[in-house]
Chains A and B, each alone.
Chain A
Amino acid sequence: MKRFTAFVRKEFLHIFRDSRTMLILFAMPVVQILIFGFVITTEISDASIAILDKSKNEMTREITAKLASSGYYNIKHLLHSENEIEAAFKRDRVKMVVVFEPQFSKRFYADKQASVQLIADASDANSARILTNYAEGIITSYQNSKNSDVGAVAKPIETQVRMFYNENLDGVFMSVPGIMAMILMLVSAMMTSISITKEKEFGSMEVLLISPLKPFQIILGKVTPYILLAFVNVLTILAMGYWVFHVPIRGSLFLLLGESMLFTLLALSLGIFISTVAQNQMVAMFMSMFALMLPTILLSGFIYPVENMPYVLQLISHLMPPKWFIIIVKSVMLKGNGIMYVWKETLILMSFTLLFVGLSIKKFQVRLK
């Protein structure tokens, strides 16, 4: 036991004396969550738009006023002809142009068919979709109110939308589980694989293996500090999510922390496995980057929904441990689910952990022979 504590103490000294390691361990989680929380946001406010009103009557003015007061749009220009639309996009960088046809209200009342055209700048596809959706919603609700004014029963189906578990569709609700997965992968898998290969590269691993320390004691000693630091990171991310971004923790905090520890162990076993394969720190870092970070970001459902991917990529995404962790975290944090709803994912994480531990042991024995 004394040997073990001496080892852990040495590891902590390595960590605390390296400013780059400290930066990755403590500054990065905070910076990441701030970036994903504040900067990368899917909400739209004050987007510049232009209006081409060919009828200029009370009705089109009312709709324009509704768009303006919604908070989503900032009406920058009033156009006079179709020729100006292109210029509005190119020179004035408006995001959307709303075109009312001539004799709008006459057609609305007489023909029961008035049209408004929404032209969006789709070089940014996501915002284009969101902007047009919002505008459609505003126009539809205006139309409904007008219909009831005239007593027409032109409202056979009324849709009512409620967003469960994230009423305001806050992007940060998506980010917190993803950032947790990413940081835990980074701290646990990448940092441990680098720190173990470092001992191999500098030749100290040989000295340690000749000492009375057993191989598992060496590995455990290297890994323990990162378990503790990863736990600190989990707490930091959750606390910032809760107090800065008001992401709720509806399920059991205990379960959430338990699942995070499980995922940390998984990432550590992956890091140990990488270190048995990689010969030096550079290789370990690149393997962690490409094998862990990119899939965590791209294929786990953190940013891009898995359901929209091609079938082959969906199959590959099943092999990405972070995907299952993100499902668990969302389920526990946002929906308030208990273990009964996430036991399958939990089992998958456990199996991954056992697999990587097994592979590492096998690889390690081969090397000793």
Chain B
Amino acid sequence: MNEPVISVKNLVKRFGNFTANDHLNFHVDKGEIFGFLGANGAGKTTAMRILSGLSKSTEGEVVVAGYNVNTHPEKVKQNIGYMSQKFSLFEDLTIWENMRFFAAIYGLSTAVFKERAQMLLNKLGIFHEKDRLVGELSLGWKQKLAFSVAILHRPSIVFLDEPTSGVDPITRRQFWEMIYQASAEGITVFVTTHYMDEAEYCNRVTIMVDGRIEALDTPAALKKQFAARNMNEVFLTLARPNNQ
């Protein structure tokens, strides 16, 4: 139905003797919300770093937004957005200055930046706060703003690395509403998370265990396949088979 915006074939990443990604195969469709799950150390971050051009694969072919990440990393970078769990925005700059900075490094013109930033802040209802330092904001606001900034240049894909960790349930809900909105506008969302209720919100979910993809399907299909009541049970069955 849709052309894939991410296609991964036989992706292998080794660090010495350790295989972090063991022959990964998957594709992500346009506008899809693709959940990337796995215990700590399962290889999620490594895979995401390769997809975003931050690190090179040992073997395999990765095409993101129509470009091979190994041969055209610059083209890929221009077409993706990224939000990390560790860093959201520069705390000693104001909201407006942060937005202006990221708009400029993604090559937006001043006029386009002003129009989009104004629209975005109005939508969030904080336009009057645009000159406040980001450091004064709550974590929830920072994450919502960081997400807005990550899609300010209208990328075809946005990578979210545990975007809601440490955020309260209400803000998480608002955050996912923003994700749905971006998806409805045609932006593909690639998200890693530790919250299994969030996994339910995804169109399709991948579960990684020890560098391999152990399951990949819609949440409904996965629950059926593993005879589980919710995604939490699916995850526990796969991630800790010995404990069952």
The answer to the question of B36 belonging to the interface, with a C-beta cut-off of 8 Å to chain A, is no
Complex: A193 Cα to B56 Cα, angstroms: 26
Complex: A207 Cα to B158 Cα, angstroms: 12
Once A10-B93, A10-B97 are accepted as A-B contacts, the answer to whether A203 and B87 lie under 8 Å apart by CB is yes
Question: Would you list the 6 A-B pairs with minimal beta carbon distance, nearest first?
Answer: A6-B104, A203-B86, A203-B87, A210-B82, A204-B87, A17-B92
The answer to the question of A110 belonging to the interface, with a C-beta cut-off of 8 Å to chain B, is no
The answer to the question of A369 belonging to the interface, with a C-beta cut-off of 8 Å to chain B, is yes
Taking CB atoms, residues of chain A closer than 8 Å to B100 are 6
* Closest Cβ neighbor of A13 among chain B residues: B93
Given A9, A202, A212, which contacts B87 in the complex, CB threshold below 8 Å? A202
Taking CB atoms, residues of chain A closer than 8 Å to B78 are 212
- Taking residues whose C-beta sits less than 8 angstroms from the other chain, chain A's interface range is 20 to 34
Complex: A204 Cα to B85 Cα, angstroms: 10
Taking CB atoms, residues of chain B closer than 8 Å to A13 are 92-93, 97
Binding site for B on A (CB under 8 A): 2-3, 5-7, 9-10, 13-14, 17-18, 202-204, 206-214, 368-369
| Contact indicator B107/A2 (Cβ below 8 Å) | yes
The answer to the question of B40 belonging to the interface, with a C-beta cut-off of 8 Å to chain A, is no
Once A210-B82, A211-B106, A212-B74 are accepted as A-B contacts, the answer to whether A10 and B54 lie under 8 Å apart by CB is no
| Contact indicator B92/A18 (Cβ below 8 Å) | yes
| Contact indicator B54/A14 (Cβ below 8 Å) | no
Given A7, A18, A207, A212, which contacts B84 in the complex, CB threshold below 8 Å? A207
Given B54, B86, B90, which contacts A209 in the complex, CB threshold below 8 Å? B54
Complex: A66 Cα to B161 Cα, angstroms: 83
Taking CB atoms, residues of chain A closer than 8 Å to B90 are 10, 14, 204
Taking CB atoms, residues of chain A closer than 8 Å to B74 are 212, 214
* Closest Cβ neighbor of A205 among chain B residues: B87
| Contact indicator B105/A6 (Cβ below 8 Å) | yes
The answer to the question of B77 belonging to the interface, with a C-beta cut-off of 8 Å to chain A, is yes
| Contact indicator B54/A206 (Cβ below 8 Å) | yes
Complex: A209 Cα to B84 Cα, angstroms: 12
| Contact indicator A2/B55 (Cβ below 8 Å) | no
Q: Which residue of B52, B55, B104 has the most chain A CB atoms within 10 A of its CB atom?
A: B104
- Tell me the minimal C-beta distance from B91 to chain A in angstroms: 8
| Contact indicator B55/A368 (Cβ below 8 Å) | yes
- Tell me the minimal C-beta distance from B23 to chain A in angstroms: 20
Once A3-B105, A6-B104 are accepted as A-B contacts, the answer to whether A202 and B86 lie under 8 Å apart by CB is yes
- Tell me the minimal C-beta distance from B205 to chain A in angstroms: 24
Residue pairs across A and B with Cβ atoms less than 8 A apart, 25 shown, are: A3-B107, A6-B100, A9-B101, A10-B97, A13-B92, A14-B90, A14-B92, A17-B93, A202-B87, A203-B84, A203-B86, A204-B87, A206-B87, A207-B83, A207-B84, A210-B52, A210-B77, A211-B77, A211-B82, A211-B102, A211-B106, A212-B77, A212-B106, A212-B107, A368-B55
CB contacts between A and B, total, < 8 Å: 68
Complex: A210 Cα to B83 Cα, angstroms: 10
- Tell me the minimal C-beta distance from B116 to chain A in angstroms: 16
The answer to the question of B53 belonging to the interface, with a C-beta cut-off of 8 Å to chain A, is yes
- Tell me the minimal C-beta distance from B114 to chain A in angstroms: 14
Complex: A209 Cα to B105 Cα, angstroms: 11
Complex: A14 Cα to B87 Cα, angstroms: 16
- Tell me the minimal C-beta distance from A130 to chain B in angstroms: 50
* Closest Cβ neighbor of A204 among chain B residues: B87
Complex: A13 Cα to B102 Cα, angstroms: 14
Complex: A206 Cα to B84 Cα, angstroms: 8
Instruction: With A7-B104, A214-B74 given, name 6 new contacts (CB 8 A).
Output: A3-B107, A6-B104, A207-B87, A212-B74, A368-B56, A369-B56
Complex: A368 Cα to B101 Cα, angstroms: 24
Complex: A208 Cα to B100 Cα, angstroms: 14
Taking CB atoms, residues of chain A closer than 8 Å to B83 are 207
| Contact indicator B105/A213 (Cβ below 8 Å) | yes
Taking CB atoms, residues of chain B closer than 8 Å to A213 are 105
Complex: A367 Cα to B110 Cα, angstroms: 35
